């Protein structure tokens, strides 16, 4: 799933690069269309929100989840345009996945055009009969941990509604 999704995105960007560079909303839409079925946005949002989850209203939770995912899509999409002929190499899992194993980290290496190899790990969990990504770790930096640390401080200082509004604009 990781390899297929990455390959699909790279092919679309390669084939439509000029169009997508000129039309960011179209780029975001393409990335969303490819990623959303494979991304556990609810679980990721809950992890990022951390202890603020229990104090948030259901409307705030949903807005936060969508704003966080939208921000991730926009950042990822812009990053995709910077790469030309990158390849994603999925590293073999050291052991067989047990049937009762609900969480698996898929380790990959992204080889950039310059030849640099960047480790990118995808933390996944088994949801509704499929594996879904809930965290991406690039060179050891977890997006869930990064956002949780950043959001926690911002929520305390500015309030949850302001943080959500800022995410929606980023």
Extents of the domains making up the chain: 2-169
The number of residues in the chain equals 170
Contact 44, 134 (CB under 8 A): yes
CA atoms within 13 A on the CB side of 153: 5
Read off the tokens for 49. 């929100």
Backbone angles phi, psi at 138, to 5 degrees: -110, 120
Residue 97: what pLDDT? 57
What is the model's pTM?
0.84
pLDDT mean for each 10 residues of the chain (170 residues): 84 88 93 93 94 94 94 85 69 63 84 80 89 91 91 89 90
Contact 71, 169 (CB under 8 A): no
Q: How far apart are CA 12 and CA 81, in angstroms?
A: 11
Residue 94: what pLDDT? 67
Torsion region of 50: left, alpha or beta (phi above 0 gives left; psi -120 to 50 gives alpha)? left
What is the third-level CATH fold of 2-169? Nuclear Transport Factor 2; Chain: A, (3.10.450)
Residue 48: what pLDDT? 94
Question: In 3-state terms, what secondary structure has residue 46?
Answer: helix
Residue 92: what pLDDT? 78
């Amino acid at each position: 799933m990781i390899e297929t999704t990455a390959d699909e995105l790279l092919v679309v960007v390669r084939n439509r690069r000029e169009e997508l560079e000129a039309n960011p909303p179209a780029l975001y839409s393409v990335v969303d269309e490819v990623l959303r079925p494979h991304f556990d946005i609810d679980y990721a949002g809950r992890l990022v929100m951390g202890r603020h989850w229990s104090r948030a209203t259901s409307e705030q939770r949903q807005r936060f989840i969508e704003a966080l995912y939208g921000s991730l899509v926009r950042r990822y999409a812009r990053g995709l345009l910077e790469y030309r002929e990158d390849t994603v190499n999925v590293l073999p899992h050291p052991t067989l996945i047990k049937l009762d194993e609900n969480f698996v980290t898929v380790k990959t290496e992204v080889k950039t055009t310059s030849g640099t190899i960047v480790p990118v790990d995808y933390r996944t969990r088994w949801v509704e009969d499929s594996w879904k990504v809930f965290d991406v770790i690039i060179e050891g930096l977890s997006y869930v941990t990064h956002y949780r640390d950043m959001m926690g401080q911002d929520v305390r200082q500015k309030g949850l509604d302001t943080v959500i509004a800022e995410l929606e604009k980023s």
